[in-house]
Amino acid sequence: MAETALSVDDVLAPLFVRQGIDTPVPIASLPGQHQHTVGSLVTEATRLASLGVPGIVVFGVPDRRDAEGSGAWDPDGIVQVALAELRGALGDRMVIVADLCLDEYTDHGHCGLVDSAGVVDNDATLALYQRVALAQASAGADVVAPSGMMDGQVAAVRSALDGAGFDQVAVLAYAAKYASALYGPFREAVDVEIAGGGDRRGYQQDPANRREARVEVALDVAEGADMVMVKPALAYLDVLADVAASVDVPVAAYHVSGEYAMVKAAAERGWIDGPAVMTEHLTAIKRAGARMILTYAAGELAEAVHR
């Protein structure tokens, strides 16, 4: 009789692949997660696929960075290489999503090009996102997920894909993405530090705003988003419920690094029952209206089902 039943079908696993390493590197702030080599990434994705996890979201950690973030669209860039290997190994067994952003690839750590005053140039960034989308689609991504919160990013990416014959590649828009402190462990996972102690409040949303999310989401749907995302998840369940009620496209929620890490840290101290809290949190995110949840707990959820 339960209204909400969480299953492996509901989750996507974010995975990190790092250039220039021979063995996977554990991420201290995300227990159980690694910066993968291309080989270990393929092994992990294959394992998750056999456990029934329907998709993965791939993030790259390059070994060099520049002002433009050119590694993000380089055909030999780490994510492109990884996507091709994943596609070859997995065929159509899993949906492969590529996170589309520049922050992992820029030397200043911002999600877009910065001008001489250090301010992100929204419109100049769009052309670069188009290049990244084409590189990721060519390498085998089923879905590209623009996460930089530039205005017009969905329309730009969609038209670039359609113009190059990638009309079958879907766009998962990080539509309501907040300037949250909960991304801390992620920045360790991708070795990103924002230059000069900066932040992303110029392009990500103010956590104090609820109605603004509806506006952002409506814009992305109008621009052609196939799916929209709310991020983070738990502290924004009101936003998630609003969005789920206001659009007809599938709604995703990102259960972000800090949300996962908090559960792991408290469980490690024996203060909470980790697996129980994790399941409760993910169930609440689904209950609020998420049709899919990006979570670092995807693997453990799948293992529990198969135990």
Q: Which residues contact 307 (CB under 8 A, 6 or more apart)?
A: none
Helices 274-287 & 298-306 angle (0-180, nearest 10): 110
| Per rule CB under 6 A, count of chain residues that contact ligand PBG | 10
Does 125 contact ligand PBG by CB under 6 A? no
* 216 contacts ligand PBG (rule: CB under 6 A): no
**x/- site string to ligand PBG, residues 244 to 263, per CB under 6 A?**
------------xx------
- Which residue among 231, 264, 281, 286 is the active-site one? 231
Minimum Å gap between C-beta 51 and ligand PBG is 21
Q: What is the 3-state secondary structure (H, E, C) of the chain?
A: CCCCCCCHHHEEEEEEEECCCCCCEECCCCCCCEEECHHHHHHHHHHHHHCCCCEEEEEEECCCCECCCHHHCCCCCHHHHHHHHHHHHHCCCCEEEEEECCCCCECCCCCCCECCCCCECHHHHHHHHHHHHHHHHHHCCCEEEECCCCCCHHHHHHHHHHHCCCCCCEEEEEEEEECCHHHHHHHHHCCCCCHHHCCCCCCCECCCCCHHHHHHHHHHHHCCCCEEEEECCHHHHHHHHHHHHHCCCCEEEEECHHHHHHHHHHHHCCCCCHHHHHHHHHHHHHHCCCCEEEECCHHHHHHHHHC
236 contacts ligand PBG (rule: CB under 6 A): no
Active site residue 177: yes
Candidate segments 95-103, 117-125, 134-142, 271-279, binder of ligand PBG by CB under 6 A: 95-103
From 69-77, 96-104, 112-120, 262-270, give the range in contact with ligand PBG by CB under 6 A: 96-104
Q: Which stretch binds ligand PBG (CB under 6 A): 48-56, 83-91, 99-107, 162-170?
A: 99-107
Closest residue to ligand PBG, judged by C-beta, is 186
286 belongs to the catalytic site = no
Assess 105 for contact with ligand PBG (CB under 6 A).
no
Residue 53 vs 111, nearer CB to ligand PBG? 111
Contact residue for ligand PBG among 99, 216, 220, 242 (CB under 6 A): 99
Give me the least distance between CB of 281 and ligand PBG, in Å please.
14
For residue 268, the tally of other CB atoms under 10 A from its CB is 11
Q: Which of 37, 40, 106, 147 binds ligand PBG (CB under 6 A)?
A: 147
Task: Single out the residue of 183, 203, 242, 252 in contact with ligand PBG (rule: CB under 6 A).
Answer: 183
Using rule CB under 6 A, residue 101 touches ligand PBG: yes
Binding of residue 203 to ligand PBG (CB under 6 A): no
Residue numbers of the site for ligand PBG (CB under 6 A)? 99, 101, 103, 111, 147, 183, 186, 200, 256-257
What residues act catalytically? 177, 231
